[in-house]
Amino acid sequence: MSEKSVLVTGACGEIGQALVQSLNKRGYRIFTADLVSLPESIKNLPAEHIQGDLVNRIKIFYDYDFDLIFHLAASLSSKAEVATEDAHRINVEGTMQLLLLAAYKSEKLNKPVKFMFPSSIAAYGFPDRATKHAAGNVKEDEWNTPHTMYGCNKLYCEKLGVYYSRYCGQRHLDPVPPTMLDFRAIRFPGLVSAFTIPSGGTSDYGPEMLHSAAAGKPYACFVDAETRISFMAMPDAIKSLLMLMDAPRETLSSQVYNIAAFSLTAGEFRQRALGAFPEAQITFAPNPRRQGIVDSWPEDVDDTLARKDWGWKPEYDVDKFFNEYFLPAIKKRYQRPSTRTIE
């Protein structure tokens, strides 16, 4: 068991809740931060919660010596598009402030603070669907031309992380001393949890559709049936963060990694939902703005680098995701009888 101190910002979000539970099992001393108070799922865990706006309250964080930071707080893609300045403040200024803190502490304590940053497929940007389709699985350095405020923020913060961990001060240290801030990022696809429902994102149509079907509520999907992006089960997202965190620094050939699990169209999501809940009412009512955002994201990503450098492999392909993770869990959540396995 480790007694390292870890800070999780955005702890009340979907990834945050699942991550805090896993970190607790590993025996970390946990500090959480969020605008709101801790939800039921984690509020009884032994964590110290710092509630409030990260940017305004950054000084408080200097009182602590964190070994590890998971900076999850963010304004997601759909929300960011309607409040761009606010999103920039949260996504960029918030990250910048924490990076400064982590860089300062690494230097002062002469040991690297590990900074884990969830980036996103929103860091990519295709001009149209035909180009997206032709591109297929994209590598980390391809199509880095995001169309959204959120995507721009994520891509820029990846660069900031690399800057503070390698170049800050322009001391031209070669090799970079192992005591400098250790920044690592994962570009996540759309995530689906059986226990929480997302808000503010644009990949949300996947989980929204499935949760609605399971809850017996009609759902009008805001993208059309042909829309395709990559998705992943929440436990795999948590697994990837912990795997990358555990990887020895010298084995990493990059600081930003794609990870993939399965790629599905919205129509295929609907088929899967109907397979388990034949009475589900799922229609398509595309919203042009949100459709445009998803059309700019890749159909799938190439995660060769993550597989090679730190042994990434998802636990859940699409069938296992539905049959062994999602359906059994939502059956309990919504107390619904129908959980036929689906293909």
SS3 breakdown of the chain: % helix, strand, coil, rounded to 5?
45, 15, 40
77 vs 97 by CB, closer to ligand AKB: 77
Cα-to-chain-centroid distance, residue 252: 20
Question: Shortest Cβ distance from residue 21 to ligand AKB (Å)?
Answer: 20
Interaction site with ligand AKB (CB under 6 A):
76-77, 120-122, 150, 188, 190, 201-203
Question: Shortest Cβ distance from residue 189 to ligand AKB (Å)?
Answer: 7
CA distance 111 to 103: 10
Residue closest to ligand AKB when measured from CB atoms = 201
| C-beta separation of 286 from 224 below 8 A | yes
15 vs 113 by CB, closer to ligand AKB: 15
97 vs 153 by CB, closer to ligand AKB: 153
To the nearest 10 degrees (0 to 180), the angle between helices 149-162 and 94-109 is 10
**16-246-310 Cα angle (round to 5):** 105
- Which residue in the block uniquely carries the two structure tokens 């891509």? 155
Question: Shortest Cβ distance from residue 298 to ligand AKB (Å)?
Answer: 11
112 vs 298 by CB, closer to ligand AKB: 298
In sequence order, what are the residues at sequence separation of 6 or more whose Cβ sits closer than 8 angstroms to the Cβ of residue 171?
none
190 vs 286 by CB, closer to ligand AKB: 190
CA 61 vs CA 72, 165, 205: distances in Å: 15, 19, 35
Q: Is the dihedral of CA 195, 242, 319, 324 positive or negative?
A: negative
In sequence order, the β-bridge partners of residue 47 are 30
Strands 182-188 vs 190-192: parallel, antiparallel or unpaired: unpaired
Question: Shortest Cβ distance from residue 97 to ligand AKB (Å)?
Answer: 21
Question: Shortest Cβ distance from residue 318 to ligand AKB (Å)?
Answer: 17
Question: Shortest Cβ distance from residue 257 to ligand AKB (Å)?
Answer: 15
188 vs 310 by CB, closer to ligand AKB: 188
